């Protein structure tokens, strides 16, 4: 039995390969992958071969993909009955398995584990294959009412839930989300599901802003371009002031800034838009170094933090939000491809078209 996979051999070089089926570990499950979504990180590894400290090394290839759902086809000998799992169960897959034993894992901060095995992060293989093996405690059984497409979308919803967790969202919050791509849109939807008072979306694309109005945002704001005679500081102050007036945000600013674009002007504007002691979560990855208005952040005692992947309790919460219909992920799926057309799917995401939100790839068909 072969395991057909979509493999990144080197930068900008992907191929289909029939790989041998690896022996199943005693606590592992073998999952028949039925749907996989494409994440920006997958495209970044394909085009650049690295994200931060995670680098695709010469001569070491990697199966792409980490947003997946599938069906259990085989179980390891030591999967306990208490796991309540069986062959035939439909599951969402959490793609990162930590060591469980380091101090970070024991504190519930397993997203920072140095020995994390994360799908499609060098050197670990991802899920764009017929079969994928994962430890039993990192899959989540989905209800019969959830589709496999929804199961695959649990992963990006989990990213948004982690961002919301870092922001400590409350019902009284006014939340501004910079970036109306998949993660930004999901941040808006999660914030609304949590009952936040007002949620606003910000982007440069009219099309994405129009969609955002129907997906959790109470109102939206189109980010303007900087005038030639403006400094970045002047631009950020001007735009933040205009946002307060246009959106009706309190003169002191917004309670929460969720930055999902990674764009330097958005980061700077967000600092000036935030009220004193606001919570600012940086989730978008753009340039590795940006100019940050640290004095304004300091004077405001801004609670700035980052967000990466997911931590304890996040994945089950995401499954519940999707299963309950609180976050309608089906609406984000704009394009579907067969497995053999995976390269076309990646090329479409690479184009960065504003009418493309989430692209998914069907599993291998016999």
123 within some domain = yes
Do the Cβ atoms of 118 and 134 come closer than 8 Å? no
Strands annotated E in the chain? 2-10, 13-20, 28-37, 50-51, 54-55, 62-63, 67-75, 90-93, 96-97, 117-118, 131-135, 139-141, 174-178, 198-203, 219-222, 254-259, 274-282, 303-306, 333-337, 358-362
317 within some domain = no
Strands annotated E in 249-354? 254-259, 274-282, 303-306, 333-337
Domains in the chain, number:
2
Say yes or no: 226 and 302 in one domain. Answer: yes
Read off the pLDDT of each residue in 158-174 and give the average, rounded to a whole number. Answer: 98
173 within some domain = yes
Say yes or no: 132 and 174 in one domain. Answer: no
Say yes or no: 74 and 170 in one domain. Answer: no
How far apart are the C-alpha atoms of 65 and 312, rounded to whole Å?
A: 22
Say yes or no: 14 and 65 in one domain. Answer: yes
Please tell me what DSSP assigns to residue 332: G
Do the Cβ atoms of 33 and 129 come closer than 8 Å? yes
- pLDDT per residue as tens digits for the range 97-111: 999 999 999 998 999
Q: Return the pLDDT at 53.
A: 86
Q: Return the pLDDT at 96.
A: 96
312 within some domain = no
pTM greater than 0.75 (yes/no):
yes
149 within some domain = no
Say yes or no: 17 and 116 in one domain. Answer: yes
pLDDT-derived band of residue 52, with 50, 70 and 90 as boundaries? Answer: confident
For residue 1, pLDDT beyond 70: no
Say yes or no: 88 and 218 in one domain. Answer: no
Read off the pLDDT of each residue in 227-248 and give the average, rounded to a whole number. Answer: 97
Say yes or no: 133 and 213 in one domain. Answer: no
Say yes or no: 108 and 214 in one domain. Answer: no
Q: Which of 72, 353, 310, 90 is nearest to 205 (CA)?
A: 353
Say yes or no: 184 and 287 in one domain. Answer: yes
Torsion angles phi and psi, residue 341, rounded to 5: -105, 25
Read off the pLDDT of each residue in 173-198 and give the average, rounded to a whole number. Answer: 98
- pLDDT per residue as tens digits for the range 292-304: 999 999 999 999 9
Please tell me what DSSP assigns to residue 83: G
Q: How many percent of the chain have pLDDT more than 70?
A: 100
110 within some domain = yes
146 within some domain = no
- pLDDT per residue as tens digits for the range 6-48: 999 999 999 999 999 999 999 999 999 999 999 999 999 999 9
Read off the pLDDT of each residue in 182-197 and give the average, rounded to a whole number. Answer: 98
Q: Return the pLDDT at 170.
A: 97
Say yes or no: 182 and 249 in one domain. Answer: yes
Say yes or no: 130 and 185 in one domain. Answer: no
58 Cα distance to chain centroid: 27
Using the structure block, give the residue that is written with the tokens 């967790």: 165
How far apart are the C-alpha atoms of 333 and 152, rounded to whole Å?
A: 11
Do the Cβ atoms of 151 and 142 come closer than 8 Å? yes
For residue 366, pLDDT beyond 80: no
DSSP three-state, residue 155: helix
132 within some domain = yes
Dihedral (Cα; 46, 49, 55, 56), 10-degree rounding: 70
CATH number at 282 reads 3.40.50.720
Read off the pLDDT of each residue in 241-269 and give the average, rounded to a whole number. Answer: 98
For residue 234, pLDDT beyond 90: yes
Domain of residue 46 covers: 2-141+328-362
DSSP track, 223-264: --PPPTT--HHHHHHHHHHHHHHHHT--TT-EEEEEE-S--H
- pLDDT per residue as tens digits for the range 282-292: 999 989 899 99
Say yes or no: 131 and 37 in one domain. Answer: yes
- What integer best gives the mean pLDDT of the chain? 97
Q: Return the pLDDT at 2.
A: 82
CATH number at 113 reads 3.90.180.10
Q: How many percent of the chain have pLDDT more than 90?
A: 96
């Amino acid at each position: 039995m072969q395991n057909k996979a979509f493999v990144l051999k080197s930068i900008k070089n992907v191929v289909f390969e029939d790989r041998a089926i690896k022996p199943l570990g005693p606590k592992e499950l073998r999952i028949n992958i039925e749907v996989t979504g494409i994440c920006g990180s997958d495209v970044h590894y394909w085009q650049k071969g690295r994200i931060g400290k995670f680098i695709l090394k010469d001569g070491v290839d990697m199966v792409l993909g980490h947003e997946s759902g599938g069906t259990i086809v085989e179980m390891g000998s030591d999967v306990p009955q208490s796991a309540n799992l069986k062959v035939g169960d439909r599951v969402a897959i959490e793609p990162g398995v930590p060591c469980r034993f380091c101090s970070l894992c024991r504190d519930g901060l397993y997203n920072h584990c140095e020995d994390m095995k994360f799908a499609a992060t060098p050197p670990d293989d991802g899920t764009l294959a017929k079969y994928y093996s994962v430890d039993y405690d990192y899959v989540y059984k989905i209800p019969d009412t959830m589709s496999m497409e929804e199961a695959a979308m649990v992963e990006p919803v989990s990213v948004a839930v982690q961002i919301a967790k870092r922001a400590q969202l409350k019902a009284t919050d006014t939340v501004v989300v910079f970036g109306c791509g998949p993660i930004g849109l999901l941040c808006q939807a999660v914030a609304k599901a949590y009952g936040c008072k007002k949620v606003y979306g910000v982007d440069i694309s009219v099309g994405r802003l129009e969609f955002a109005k129907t997906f959790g945002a109470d109102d939206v704001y189109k980010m303007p371009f900087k005038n030639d005679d403006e400094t970045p500081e002047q631009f950020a102050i001007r735009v933040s002031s205009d946002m307060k007036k246009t959106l009706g945000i309190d003169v002191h600013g917004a309670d929460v800034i969720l930055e999902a674009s990674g764009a330097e002007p958005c980061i700077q504007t967000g600092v000036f838009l935030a009220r004193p002691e606001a919570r600012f979560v940086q989730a978008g990855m753009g340039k590795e170094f940006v100019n940050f208005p640290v004095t304004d952040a300091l004077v405001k005692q801004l609670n700035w933090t980052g967000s990466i992947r997911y931590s304890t309790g996040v994945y089950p919460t995401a499954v519940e939000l999707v299963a309950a219909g609180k976050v309608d992920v089906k609406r984000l799926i704009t394009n579907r491809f067969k497995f053999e057309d995976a390269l076309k799917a990646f090329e479409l995401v690479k184009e960065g078209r504003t009418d493309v939100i989430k692209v998914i790839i069907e599993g291998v068909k016999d």
